[in-house]
Amino acid sequence: MPVLEELLLERAGLPADTVDHLRLLLDDWQILADLSFADLLLFVGHTLPDAKATYLCVGQMRPYTAQTIYSEDLVGQAFPVTDRPMVGRAMAEQRVIRDADPDWSTGVPVREEAIPVHFRGEVVAVVTREANVATARSPSQLELTYLQSAGELAQMLADGTFPYGGGQPEERELSPRVGDGIMRVDAEGTVTFASPNAISAYRRLGSLEQYVGQHLSMFDLGHAELTAALRSGEPVVTEVERQGAVVMRRLLPLIGHDDVIGGLLLVREITELRRHERALRLKDATIREIHHRVKNNLQTVASLLRLQGRRLQSAEARDALAESVRRISSIALVHETLSQESRQRVDFLKVARRIVEMLGDGLTDPDVPVRFEIDGEPGDLPADVATPLALVITELLQNCVEHAFPGAAEAGAARGGTVGLRFACEPETLSVTVSDDGVGLPPGATLDSVANLGLQIARTLVESELGGTLTAPPVPAGTTVQLVVPLP
């Protein structure tokens, strides 16, 4: 169970919907830390087994925009209530509590603020904002705008309008942060502040010279979505593209007294990122196309051999060609699977099923019914393991079909049987067992003593290509061959 759930559900005993609300807050509070130039801590009330009342720290966020006060991790620590009087006051008075004088207990002057977190009409937790004021100079306009916006977000937290409910942006990790660029707009969508990064991002779109005082519609092609967000009070994340440049924007409406009083527009230029993604997709498509062509070529080779086989008189020569066709087809199967996957990994169960199907189709004697069973999960395998493995499995299964159940003529009575293919995935190895309940190897024989071309191919591939082992453990009936290969 993730730490937060353990802390909130088990130790603090909070109901699940409250935990969900606090999770939303923790997903989104980086912006509050950055705008405040402050460390954030999240506290919930917690009674220790010895009935002592404490505040349990359940979340911590450091600002990207300032130096942190706490180099240590406080999550999971319980503080005696006397250590954090402001947290208690914020809970009791249900309002934002501000420190008049900086606190010097950590060695640097720290200004603290405690913000009650409202959820469903109750205070469920308290966020503290703690800023080091030692470095405070006369603040720039950027800093003033940040601090003002932080104050408004903090008030929204106390009012229960932040964090925003509803869906989260899909690409959270791409979602712009304060440092990427920020604009402030009024309730109608007119810019009142633009950070240098935000201006640079919009310049890439070939927009204006001057932004402050302009309405979004003057320079943002996707302004309709942004102004809609301002009207509805719901945040939005969208992208605009122009002249090959891509800018992602996240609009966070600021709400005071149930009305939208303005908005924060976080802006990030992601042109390079998108270009990179496009290039990767193209490369991926090319690789798949090549696998597709390799598969086609292998299938052509197989058909040529098949055609040639039909014209041969000698049964032995025909069998030899048929076997080659089978081997080539099992390699083609792996390439076919690779041409359908975007990762360079193969869902090997799919390949195994196709091999079994192919061998089943090749069975000709209706008096010797053979049933196949596949068990376990080989998982996704890299292409360089999948190809040799497919070949080895084809050989071993083919042997079961060919040798384990002699037909009516040879055995005197028709009998079929079952062939099993079992996968067992350990963290670092894959073991594959091919077994049948047929006649078994000749008495006293080992894999090496009976090996013809088929088993030789299998052993060579397992040992030199896959770095694994191939063994035939003694079994009471039938034949079992096991191979164990290391997974990269």
Ligand X SMILES: Nc1ncnc2c1ncn2[C@@H]1O[C@H](COP(=O)(O)OP(=O)(O)OP(=O)(O)O)[C@@H](O)[C@H]1O
Q: Which residues bind ligand X (CB under 6 A)?
A: 323, 395, 399-400, 402-404, 436, 438-441, 450-455, 479
First to last CA, the chain: 29
The three-class DSSP label of residue 64 is coil
Q: What string of DSSP letters covers 263-296?
A: EEEEEEE-HHHHHHHHHHHHHHHHHHHHHHHHHH
Instruction: Report the residue number, 149 or 399, with the smaller CB distance to Mg ion.
Output: 399
Give Cβ neighbours of residue 203 (< 8 Å, ≥ 6 apart).
none
Residue 479 binds which entry of ligand X, Mg ion, none, CB below 5-8 Å type-dependent: ligand X
Return d(Cα 426, Cα 378) in angstroms, integer. Answer: 10
Residue 138 binds which entry of Mg ion, ligand X, none, CB below 5-8 Å type-dependent: none
Return d(Cα 129, Cα 127) in angstroms, integer. Answer: 7
Closest CA to 127 of 113, 115, 110: 115
Return d(Cα 396, Cα 85) in angstroms, integer. Answer: 74
Q: Which stretch of DSSP H or E encloses residue 259?
A: strand 259-269
Q: Which residues bind Mg ion (CB under 5 A)?
A: 399, 454
| Minimum CB–partner distance for residue 350 and ligand X (Å) | 24
Q: What b-and-e string marks burial along 53-87, b requiring 16 or more CB atoms within 10 Å of the CB?
A: ebbbbbbbbbbebbebbeeeeeeeebbebeebebb
Return d(Cα 195, Cα 221) in angstroms, integer. Answer: 19
CB 23, CB 244: distance < 8 Å: no
Sheet holding 78-80, edge to edge: 78-80, 53-61, 39-47, 122-132, 110-119, 97-98
Give the angle subtended at the CA of 235 by the CAs of 232 and 238, to the nearest 5°: 115
Residue 408 binds which entry of Mg ion, ligand X, none, CB below 5-8 Å type-dependent: none
| Minimum CB–partner distance for residue 395 and Mg ion (Å) | 6
**Longest pairwise C-alpha distance within the chain:** 103
Length of the chain counted residue by residue: 488
Q: What are phi and psi of 43, to 5 degrees?
A: -120, 145
CB 267, CB 197: distance < 8 Å: yes
CB 197, CB 181: distance < 8 Å: yes
Residue 323 binds which entry of ligand X, Mg ion, none, CB below 5-8 Å type-dependent: ligand X
Which residue's CB atom is positioned nearest to Mg ion?
A: 454
The 3-class secondary structure across 40-60, one letter per residue, is: EEEEEEEECCCCCEEEEEEEE
- Helix axis angle, 271-310 to 315-340, nearest 10°: 170
Closest CA to 47 of 14, 11, 76: 11
| Minimum CB–partner distance for residue 454 and ligand X (Å) | 2
